[in-house]
Amino acid sequence: MHYEPQGGEVIQPLSLDGVRPVSWNAEAEGRLSNLPFFLQKMIRGKVEQAARERSLDMVTLELMDELKQARFGSKMPASPFAKKKVSS
C-alpha cells in the first residue's frame, strides 16, 4: 500500500520571507538563559514578535521589562531564583 494524492489543494510550507531578524544584546540573552529551559523558546518568540511590532532590531532588558510589566503588572510571579529573606 502506498500514498496516492487525491488532487486536493496543495498545502504550502510556512515561509520566513519578509520576517526581519531580531538580535539580542548580551544582557537580554543572559536574562533569557536564566529562565527555565522549557520556557525559553516560547518567550524568545514572543519577545522577538513584540520587538518586530515596535520596529526594533534588538531585544534589550528595557524591552523585556516593558513586556513583563504589561503582562504581570504589580502581580509579578515569585522568582524561583530570588534570594529568600531570613527572619530574625
In contact, 63 and 28? CB cutoff 8 Å? yes
In contact, 27 and 61? CB cutoff 8 Å? yes
4: pLDDT strictly greater than 60: yes
Q: Which domains does the chain have, with CATH numbers?
A: 23-72 (1.10.8.550)
Q: What is the pTM of this model?
A: 0.66
Which has more confidence, 21 or 85? 21
Residue range 42-70: average pLDDT? Answer: 95
Residue range 37-54: average pLDDT? Answer: 96
60: pLDDT strictly greater than 80: yes
